[in-house]
Copies of this chain bind each other. A is one copy, B any other.
Amino acid sequence: MTRDACLALDAADALAPLRAQFELPPGLVYLDGNSLGALPKSVAARLHSVVSEEWGRDLIQSWNTAGWLELPRRVGDKVARLVGAGEGEVVVADSTSVNLFKVLSAASRLARADHPERRVLVSERSNFPTDLYIAEGLCRDLGWELVLLEPDELPGRLGPDVAVLMLTHVNYRTGRMHDLAALTAQAHAAGALTVWDLAHSAGAVPVELGRADADFAVGCGYKFLNGGPGAPAFVWANPRHSDRFWQPLSGWMGHAAPFAFTPDYRPAPGIARYLCGTPPVLSLAALECGVDSVLAAEPVGGMGALREKSLALTTLFARLVEERCAGSGLELVSPRDAAQRGSQVCLSHRAEGESGGYAIVQALIARGVIGDFRAGDIPSSDILRFGFTPLYTRFVDAWDAVEHLREVMSRGEWREPRFHRRSAVT
């Protein structure tokens, strides 16, 4: 493999023109779209219109005339196309954490009604912490037990006491991807409900919520959906559950008739009951641009083609690291098996007994290669993360990133004290 061979791959890539949708600083190799997606060029004009015309000129009337009230459903329908859900099954609202609270609350109500003897919520030990925090609080209130396991231990623990299996489809640290369909089937066979966090999946890997007959799902708008910092999140409930219970964040936007201003809560039919307060229109408008940037892949193969390119990129990057940075103490943490890999490559680093992960990432950033670092409970679990967004990441970016990494390691650049100063977010 050579840099020219990578350029040839880009030249032959049917998805390559999609990169022109994004503002990307010249010379930067951005491998952090798994944390914050790049800026779609359409956002500036859209926000200008929302601010100047819809808010500034038309003011309150825009709730009707500009369709503000429909945004959570309209953008939800677009997200649905990316996660294998049907029209009217997804809404965009609040944050992933808040939506997880809603669906876990709904799932626990279903479980208590149908199987009151089940009082265990099973999840993965290295799940994203906010998921565990929300589950921890709910379990305390419910008197349930939260059981945290390693991925391979999950199927064996799905016994008659398990009410809910809550998992993040693609692990934020390792990039390891669960088999959503298989685990859903195993949970159902054991009588448990499933709650999936698609934060690192939506827009990154194909998801078939409906085909898998999963129960609930939430996901993030600002990673592979390119919705902007802190973009609203999405929530899905299997239609067979959505009318049965509602969630305790029973705000007026989830009411069957919000503008009737009736004193009693009457949940809207279907997924709309997972709405709560007034939608943040500016952030939602930007998110719609982001979701549209992913849907733009539909004419050239959609999520299937994106997945194929994503795997080609991550396979190439991992192979180049192992070949060109051999002996540097870097090791592949992400699964070698493509079926178990999301759209990121994670490395760990050990040299002379210590992890240089943080400093290596900082040295790369100084060279214009943006990845990120996630500290672990123990030093050896420190992770260097490199996200690959097939919409805008090129094969030559993978090559260039590894070349910079090779130089950072071979020149000992990462040992420089300036790369060891910690900032709040890394």
Residues of A within 8 A of B (CB): 23, 25, 28, 30, 32, 35-36, 38-39, 43-44, 47-48, 51-52, 54-57, 59-64, 68-69, 94-98, 101, 125, 128-130, 132-134, 136-138, 141, 148, 173, 222, 228-233, 248-253, 255, 259-265, 276-284, 286, 365, 370, 372, 374-377, 423-426
What's the Cα separation between A36 and B130 when bound, in Å?
32
Q: Given contacts A35-B60, A141-B248, A264-B136, are A231 and B280 in contact (CB under 8 A)? A: yes
- Residue from A101, A230, A250, A283 whose CB has the most chain B CB atoms within 10 Å: A230
**Is the pair B35, A133 in contact by a Cβ cutoff of 8 Å?**
no
Q: Given contacts A132-B263, A228-B281, A261-B375, are A57 and B252 in contact (CB under 8 A)? A: no
**Which chain B residue has the least Cβ–Cβ distance from A96?**
B277
**Is the pair A68, B233 in contact by a Cβ cutoff of 8 Å?**
no
**Is the pair A370, B55 in contact by a Cβ cutoff of 8 Å?**
no
**Is the pair B262, A129 in contact by a Cβ cutoff of 8 Å?**
yes
Q: Given contacts A249-B98, A277-B98, are A129 and B282 in contact (CB under 8 A)? A: no
State how many angstroms separate the Cβ of A367 from the closest Cβ of chain B. Answer: 14
**Which chain B residue has the least Cβ–Cβ distance from A374?**
B261
Q: Given contacts A133-B252, A249-B101, A251-B130, are A280 and B283 in contact (CB under 8 A)? A: yes
State how many angstroms separate the Cβ of A24 from the closest Cβ of chain B. Answer: 8
Q: Given contacts A23-B52, A39-B51, A230-B280, are A60 and B98 in contact (CB under 8 A)? A: no
Q: Given contacts A59-B30, A375-B260, are A98 and B425 in contact (CB under 8 A)? A: no
User: What is the total number of copies of this protein in its complex?
Assistant: 2
**Is the pair B277, A280 in contact by a Cβ cutoff of 8 Å?**
no
Q: Given contacts A98-B251, A283-B280, are A60 and B47 in contact (CB under 8 A)? A: no
- Residue from A38, A62, A125, A281 whose CB has the most chain B CB atoms within 10 Å: A281
What's the Cα separation between A175 and B55 when bound, in Å?
24
A230 contact set on B, CB distance < 8 A: 68, 277-284
